DNA sequence: GACAACCGCAACATTCATGTTGCAGATAAG
DNA sequence: CTTATCTGCAACATGAATGTTGCGGTTGTC
């Protein structure tokens, strides 16, 4: 396989991309799917996968890194350190939902992450905590709320929202995502109950 | 193995119980654990497991059924059809959290459930919807909230709360659970933000 | 157009989990 | 106490998935 970062030919790069996309598709429906099934879905021979990825584990790890990089970009694009907390939360939620729809498997927790992926995940977590902390300082989150709990709840609802309901790229795929993001932030901050009665 | 419901000897029943408990322990830490590892944790020979359970799949399925039965009892004990919605929600949450702490693996989603377990899960879902629907009628949940979304959010937060934080049976193991249940219901209904400002 | 890289295919080696069988000794039940 | 059941152990069968290698043909690259 290719451990060295040597320059690859164009068709090889294409194979890698095709394989990772197929793997994501197949594994998101059946995490125990075999290399054979992935190869078939990708339209390549099984040996080609082994040529490009040292092992099944390596393939999954590389997918996780790629996915988490996109998540990190999605969060950064929401300007977590500078934008008003509410805006940052909404933006990050929408961006992350978009990324999650394409990396359902790679972003699912398969035990604790390791290596590069773990590092990026930690970065994302830190940035999330930053936003949540700023949100509390500015009164968007109550002062008595534990921030660790706040993050866990936010992640849980975000992940739940990402399940299903990515039904086909209709006329405007972003409309659904934007609405979903609004609902996530709204639910986490206001809850499901009435304000005061 | 034992397909027929014949009367088993006391030691056989004991084995079954021990195996299921060990399986829950081992599989909750590593869902891909082998029968060998489960047998070792249970202190029995691997062949004994196969004597009591037709296959790995059967073992897991039986565990799922047992776990969901306990969940169903936990929900029923909260009187979902008659108790005031807030009370029922709180009671069900506390009861379910207790059960979840002992059946982490068996209650995790391993693809859609089948057979008996699926039936019980559907029952539980129906009763949850009942409580949530009554909650909305009585104004505990806003009228504009989609009930399917409400259930999904509630389940997501409940599951999140069940992760970790079952640290040892201290002097009063229920104190932690009760506090956790309060926090779950409070978070879902009030959210993390201020009431009005 | 020449050369190197890449792919499909077939064949093989290896490892590992699952499930079975038979038997000798232990243990519950009546 | 007698009998049927249960367990551990050792051995075996099977099947499946992973990973490797070599070759002939194809496809980028310069």
Task: Give the tokens for residue B93.
Answer: 């949450």
Mind listing the pLDDT tens digit for each residue in A179-189?
999 999 999 99
Q: Which residue has the tokens 């949940």?
A: B141
Cβ B94 vs Cβ B41: under 8 Å? no
DSSP A164: S
Q: In CATH, what number is assigned to the domain containing residue A115?
A: 1.10.357.10
Provide the CA B18 to C1' C18 distance, Å, integer. Answer: 21
Domain endpoint, select from A54, A79, A97: A54
Q: What pLDDT, on a 0 to 100 scale, did the predictor assign at position A172?
A: 58
Q: What pLDDT, on a 0 to 100 scale, did the predictor assign at position B6?
A: 75
Number of domains, chain B: 2
Q: What pLDDT, on a 0 to 100 scale, did the predictor assign at position B110?
A: 77
Closest nucleotide (C1' vs CA) to A13 is: C6
Q: Which residues touch strand C (CB under 7 A)?
A: A 8-9, 11-12, 14-15, 43-45, 47-48, 51-52; B 1, 9-11, 34-36, 46-47, 50, 54-57
Distance in angstroms (rounded) separating the CA atoms of residues A1 and A9: 14
Q: Closest partner residue to A191 among B159, B160, B188, by Cβ?
A: B188
Full domain range(s) for residue B92? 60-190
**In this structure, what is the dihedral angle of CA atoms B24, B26, B30, B33, given to the nearest 10 degrees?**
-110
* B111, B173: one domain: yes
* A116, A20: one domain: no
Q: What is the separation of C-alpha B141 from the centre of its chain, rounded to a whole number of angstroms?
A: 24
Q: What pLDDT, on a 0 to 100 scale, did the predictor assign at position B8?
A: 95
The answer to whether A54 CB is within 7 Å of strand D is yes
Looking at the complex, report in whole angstroms how far the Cα of residue B58 sits from the nearest Cα belonging to chain A. Answer: 18
Query: 3-class DSSP state for residue A82?
Result: coil
* A133, A94: one domain: yes
Residues of chain B with pLDDT under 50: 168
Distance in angstroms (rounded) separating the CA atoms of residues B17 and A86: 51
Does residue B175 sit within a domain? yes
| Length of chain A (residues) | 197
Q: What pLDDT, on a 0 to 100 scale, did the predictor assign at position A173?
A: 63
Q: What pLDDT, on a 0 to 100 scale, did the predictor assign at position A154?
A: 98
Q: What pLDDT, on a 0 to 100 scale, did the predictor assign at position A6?
A: 74
Give me the tens of pLDDT residue by residue for chain A, a chain 197 residues long: 555 567 899 999 999 999 999 999 999 999 999 999 999 999 999 999 999 999 999 999 999 999 999 999 999 999 999 999 999 999 999 999 999 999 999 999 777 898 999 999 999 999 999 999 999 999 999 999 999 999 999 999 999 999 875 554 555 567 799 999 999 999 999 999 897 65
B142-145 long-range contacts (CB < 8 A, ≥24 apart) are: B142/A192, B142/A193, B142/A194, B145/A192
* B79, B41: one domain: no
Does residue A173 sit within a domain? yes
Query: 3-class DSSP state for residue B196?
Result: coil
Domain endpoint, select from A33, A54, A75: A54
Mind listing the pLDDT tens digit for each residue in A88-111?
999 999 999 999 999 999 999 777
Cβ A41 vs Cβ A26: under 8 Å? yes
Could you say which residues 17-46 of protein chain A have a Cβ atom less than 7 A away from any atom in strand D? Answer: 34-36, 46
* A43, A77: one domain: no
Mind listing the pLDDT tens digit for each residue in B152-189?
999 999 999 998 755 545 555 667 999 999 999 999 99
Looking at the complex, report in whole angstroms how far the Cα of residue A165 sits from the nearest Cα belonging to chain B. Answer: 11
């Amino acid at each position: 396989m290719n451990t060295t970062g040597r320059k690859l030919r164009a068709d090889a790069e294409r194979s890698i991309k095709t394989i990772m996309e197929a793997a994501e598709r197949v594994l998101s429906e059946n995490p125990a799917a075999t290399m054979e099934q992935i190869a078939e879905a990708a339209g390549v021979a099984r040996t080609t996968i082994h040529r490009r990825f040292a092992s099944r584990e390596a393939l999954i790890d590389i997918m996780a890194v790629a996915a988490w990089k996109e998540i990190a970009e999605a969060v950064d694009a929401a300007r977590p350190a500078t934008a008003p907390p509410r805006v940052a939360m909404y933006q990050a939620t929408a961006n992350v939902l978009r990324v999650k729809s394409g990396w359902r498997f790679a972003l699912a927790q398969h035990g604790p992450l390791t290596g590069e992926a773990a590092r990026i995940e930690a970065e994302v977590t830190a940035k999330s905590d930053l936003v949540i902390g700023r949100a509390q300082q500015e009164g968007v989150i109550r002062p008595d709320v534990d921030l660790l709990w706040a993050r866990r709840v936010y992640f849980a609802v975000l992940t739940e929202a990402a399940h299903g309901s990515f039904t086909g790229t209709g006329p405007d795929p972003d409309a659904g995502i934007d609405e979903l993001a609004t609902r996530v932030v709204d639910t986490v901050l206001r809850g499901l109950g009435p304000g005061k009665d």
